[in-house]
Structure 1
Amino acid sequence: MQIPTEKPEITVKNYLSVGPGEYPCGNNLYLIVTPSGGRRWAFRYQRNGIVKKMGFGSAKAAGLKPSEAKDKAIDALRLLAKGTDPRDQREEDRRHEQGSRLFGEFAEEWRQTYETGLKHKAARNKLKRIIQVTCQPLHKLQLDQIETEHVTAVLRKVWHQREISRDARQRIKKILDAAIALDLRPKHNPADWDSRLKPIMPKQRKRGTIRGSHKAMPYHDLPAFMEKLNADPDQSARALEVTIFTLARTNEVQNMRWPQLDLQSGLWDVGTPDTKNGRPKRTPLPRQALAYLREAYESRVSDEFVFPGRSLRQSISNMTMLKHLKQITGDERLTVHGFRTTFRTWAQEETNFEERSSSIAYITSPAMMLKRHISAARR
């Protein structure tokens, strides 16, 4: 029976000559020698039930001497006795030596990269405002200095605005996640919702009974509004009419182009660039909208946009329809997008289709809704 030989004790004289293997040197320090001749010092320890390894550097002639490696191991054991992970402490020391970056400059660089994936100008503008205005109190702080109290101080100022506070919280978290990935701050994220913010932030008020965040016009008021709108000769009034008749999103009508329209069949191929989810969309044109579009085509001033702006190479502004809506109604709270809610509410209350708005859109139209209520009003 072959008796295993004990590994030699590592000393200043022999640590450069021992063969391949792992040699314990006391204080959780090991000399690791690879078959190719590589030599390095490693510190092994256990943290929260998990065995970890921390490298101390080369053990070759130009690297650490055994006494220097043992001093590092003793320092690491002292940190463990205090409840500190030595690897985390080393990363923090490196950040301080290198100098952590300021949140403001790092967030601006992150924004310029992130916004390349945003399709709409409005989304890019919202992101820019969050970074430059909402997060302004964080700009002069170093990334590794930001803690949960700094994040909550920013959020409390906009907490009464549900969507803005949510977007700001999500963007701050993404920025700090990027900083963690680049080793610019500790691994915990002070903007994490479940573990950091939710337990201490006040509960936000629930939205009102009106569906969604867009204020909608009651459908009983729509016939009278459409009569006033029809009397307005402005192009933006016609754009608003087409939006209501087709249930399209503001951006889709704003960028409506003549090549997308089949005025013979009464179909509108919206295409992917202007849709919310980037998928192709085909919309049937109601009789009222189709009649206007055929007339407008004969007198068009642009071969591209149905509703051109001051420069024929651009579409109308996304605020022109909203401006007309507020001028006619005098209600500053109404939104153009809210007409989609107006139609769905009518369909749920006046038809047998209550669950899916997509099903409603296939079997009826806003034109039918207007026809019924105008007839009822005249009776």
Structure 2
Amino acid sequence: MCDAPAARRAALIELAPAPEQLIPLLPEAEFCFTAKAVGLESSAWLLEYATPEQVVACLDLDAWEGHSPVPAKLDAWIDAIAAAGDGAALRGIQALDPELIVLYLMQRVSVELKPNDDEDWQPPEGGQTLDGQFYFVALHDGDDVAAIVRILRLLFQADYWFYFRMLQGVIWEISTENVEWAHRWRVGRLQDLGFPTWEEAMELYGYLSPKQRLQIDPDHRPLSVEEWHLPVWIPGLPEGRDSKHSLFRTLAGLEPEERRSAFYAFVSTANKVAVADYMEISDVETTPKAIDKAARWISRGLEHVARERGLTQADVVQRVPLDQLFRIGANLDPDAARPPRPIDPSDDVDASGDVVA
């Protein structure tokens, strides 16, 4: 299934005899790719059978930019969850961080709590209520808050304290603090999926002196990497001897157990490349791009160390971590290897798209 292009997967899933059994088996990122290819506005039938982990990963991967959620993407994903059946919608909402739900509500509605000691109090104009206590009003004219009404109704009926917490949060909580906490939870989950923080990923491009590039720790065992859960479908690396990258040609000659460890070490490095280079990790094209760049610069480092130390390339990959080989390769041509600088909206940009200093 995951070998098929993301745009074709929906049709294949629909043809499956038991899609409700197939959908939960998709790796988290692959589920995200598939839902985006279908279109979030049409993905309710996929979300109907998604696991809570898949739902959370979709927002972790796609609804953020830097340290903050993207309002339009957050709206789109939560609205899509709300469009699923009652059980699936409730599971999806309950799986998300409360701070993220509060942020979603904050950007769409204002909330007032009916006071107990003010007989003259009147509900806000256009306000809606489910319990006669909390009243909410759309912040923007013409905003259809049907998804919000549905979410709140489901929570009110099945999880009142979550409902109460969300509406109290809109009234009293500070959005910047919610962003900070939601970001903290997201970072931890992404690390579990193999995506490091940007600061950690940027160590790939750290400077090494010519002497440091050739140092080998005799006690290091870089091919003792344990298997870990992959959020994307990578059946294997191109290990043929005709591969354009010397790394893959070298891996082809290793023992099966070493190749397996090298596979996970390589994927870890490719994930660092994706994060450091500001690649969109929810984009189906990011994985092959990150793999190609990781292989290219690891190969440069591998060839350099083998040549300068008089070792075979197999000896080098057995003694030097792959992320260190990437760093060595990147140091050999830093201008070509370094990640592109993201353009800040406040930057002056010339006609060619280059940032003007």
Rg comparison, structure with higher value:
1
Q: TM-score w.r.t. structure 2 length?
A: 0.27
Q: TM-score w.r.t. structure 1 length?
A: 0.25
Q: Which has the higher contact order (CA 8 A, sep 6+)?
A: 2
The structure where helix makes up a greater share of residues is 2
